[in-house]
Each structure stands twice: as C-alpha cells, then as structure tokens.
Amino acid sequence: TTTKYYNLDDKILSGPCQHIFDHIAESLESFLKEENITASCLPVGFTFSFPSDQKSLKNSILVTWTKSFKCPDGVGQDACVMLEEAIARRKDMPVKLDVMARISDTTGALMAGNYADKKCRIGVILGTGSNAAFVERIENYNKFEGKDPDTKQIIVNTEWGAFGDNGCCDFYRNDFEREVDKYSNHVNSFTFEKSFSGMYLGELVRLVMVKLVDEGCLFKGNPCPELKKRWEFPTSYVTSIEEDTDTSKNTWSVLKALNLADVATEEDVAIVRETCAVVSERGAKIVAAALAVLLQHINLPEVTIAFDGSVYEKHPKFRIHIADLLAKLVPTTKCTMIMVKDGSGQGAAFVAAVEYKPS
C-alpha cells in the first residue's frame, strides 16, 4: 500500500463545503500523477467520516458535520455526488475515476481488519473522534434499501460518538465532561466521545488539574496562566506523560512547555501523572463497556476487533485497560484486538474493489 497524507487548512473547515471536496479531488489528481498511475478507469472508495443516512452503498446523505468541521452547507446532500462533481471540475485528472461507495472510517477499519483476520467482526476508530461498526445479521436490520437477496450479513455503523445525546449517559458524566461539552464546537452533541477521544482527553485532564490548583492541591495553588487556556493541553501531552518512567522526564517536559517547571515539586509531578492515568483509564473503560455490548450481541466464541486512530495507536495503556475490562465483562468470548494503521482508507479501497464491475 502506498499512502500519502494531504492536510486540510483550518480556513477550509469552516468555509463552503465545496472547498473540502475540491481539496479531495485535487489531492486525488496529485496522488495519481506523483505515483504515475495509469488505467482506463479506477474504482474509488470514499471514506467520509461524518454521520450520514446511508440508503445504499453509494447513496449517503450527510446528517451533520462533526469534530473541527463547521461548514455552513452540505447537510442534506449526497457526499458521493459532491465528490463526483469536484472530480469533474478537475480538467487534468490523468485517470477516469468511478466513485463506487461511501463508507465510514469504522467500516473501513472493519474491512481492513477482516482482510488481516477473518474473525474480525468489529471496527473501531479511536482517534480525534470515536465510532464503531459491527457485522450484523441481515434479518436484524431493516433500514437498508436495495438489499441483495443473497446477502446474509451487513455492516452497521453505530455512530456511537453521539451515544448519550438523548441523556441516557448522564448517570456517569461529571462536571469536567459537561464543561468540555459547553465549550466544544458541537454543544449537546457527540456526548459519548467527549469522555475519551483524542480531541477531548487532554482538555479533560487540564480541567481536573485546574480544579486541583484552585483547591490548593497542585502547584501550591499558584496562578497557572498557561494551564487556564482552554484546549491548550493536547492529548499528545497525556500520551507522553503516560509513557513516562521513574524519572518522569516526559512530565517535566510538559510542565516546562506550560511554564510550570519552576514551581512544580516532585509531589506535583506525581499528581499530574496520576491525573493523566485516572482520566485515561476511565476513558478506556467507557470504551470497553460499549464494546462489551457489541460482543454480547454478536455472540461468537472468538471475535477480533480492528482499531484505527491515534489514541489507540499512541497511548501506551489504552489498549491494556480495554482488554482487561473486556475479559471481565465478556468472559465467554475470546477477544483479539489488532491495529490496522490507515485501515479506514484501505477498507474503502477493498469495498471499491469488491463492488467494481469492469465494463
């Protein structure tokens, strides 16, 4: 697999959505030219990681933007149609492209995971946001149009990032999660992922530390201007601190970046490490609890779960906490967890390859 990354500028994230699809089409053209790919026609699988009303493999209507995206338009439109229109605007596209399918990143992770391990039945994204998809028996699912009579199974995208938006998760949410939600891009939405995903984990830790400072338990209650800034304690800080050894080198580096190294004591360092550990473990166990429900529903003796995303990949203890709790909650299922790096994109390519019928 040849993988290249094309970053979106921040200004595109809040502008007309046409700019996003034009960027994707431009990136496709650049990739084809850079790799000297030639063909009369290439099937394209499109991973579009936003809640959508999926009517068929290709017909997918955007329900809402999430994460850092705040485009004023696009909701109610078909993502594949918008991509096809953007591709058509590229007059120098070296290869004819045929968009075959729109899938979520979780479906992509599941497809890539199943390619690696045929017992894979769940795909999970655990990165900036979070979501899960699982393999369901077709008789249990009635929302899909254009069913193939030979199809016995279907992949269901749970959109669990928004689990709890109706208040059903309020019993475990704390003041820190409620404050994260209050100052997020999408208030009262995507409740579940705000407890653990990469966009919010660092902010949760920061809010706990601010309260500890205010109560005089951390840094002797001294003013900490850098710590008071919202969204300035990224999850990469948490990951780095959780990787720390007896020397606490990483923790001291983070405190230095926050101009706190001069006022911090060894006890402060221990408290910061403990805060990151507790918030991380809690988040991982919330993920595990949701996964346990899917495993119980699938009800097979062996199930492999495919993960993609920066939190699962880079946080040194997240997968350990998830595995530990799954073993307790679903002891009758042998659960294997695998990492599928860039699985969301690879999975889309697998879907396109399976669906493509050369003329």
**Alpha helices, DSSP H, located in the chain:** 10-13, 18-34, 79-89, 105-116, 175-182, 201-214, 235-242, 249-257, 266-298, 310-314, 318-329, 343-355
Q: What does the block give as tokens for 195?
A: 């407890």
Distance CA 94, CA 42 (A): 11
Distance CA 256, CA 137 (A): 53
Q: Tokens 């059903």 correspond to what residue?
A: 168
**Alpha helices, DSSP H, located in 161-305:** 175-182, 201-214, 235-242, 249-257, 266-298
Q: What does the block give as tokens for 114?
A: 């199943």
* Length of the chain as a residue count: 359
Residue type for position 221: G
Query: Catalytic site residue 341?
Result: no
Name the catalytic one among 105, 244, 268, 308.
105
CA of 188: how far to CAs of 52, 127, 162, 165, 180, in Å?
18, 20, 9, 6, 10
Name the catalytic one among 67, 78, 244, 268.
67
Query: Catalytic site residue 105?
Result: yes
**217: Cβ–Cβ under 8 A, 6 or more apart, which residues?**
271
- Cα atoms found within 13 Å of the Cα of residue 338, Cβ hemisphere only: 24
**357: Cβ–Cβ under 8 A, 6 or more apart, which residues?**
none
Distance CA 201, CA 198 (A): 5
Residue type for position 257: A
CA of 65: how far to CAs of 86, 123, 225, in Å?
19, 21, 32
Report, as residue numbers or ranges, the catalytic residues: 67, 105
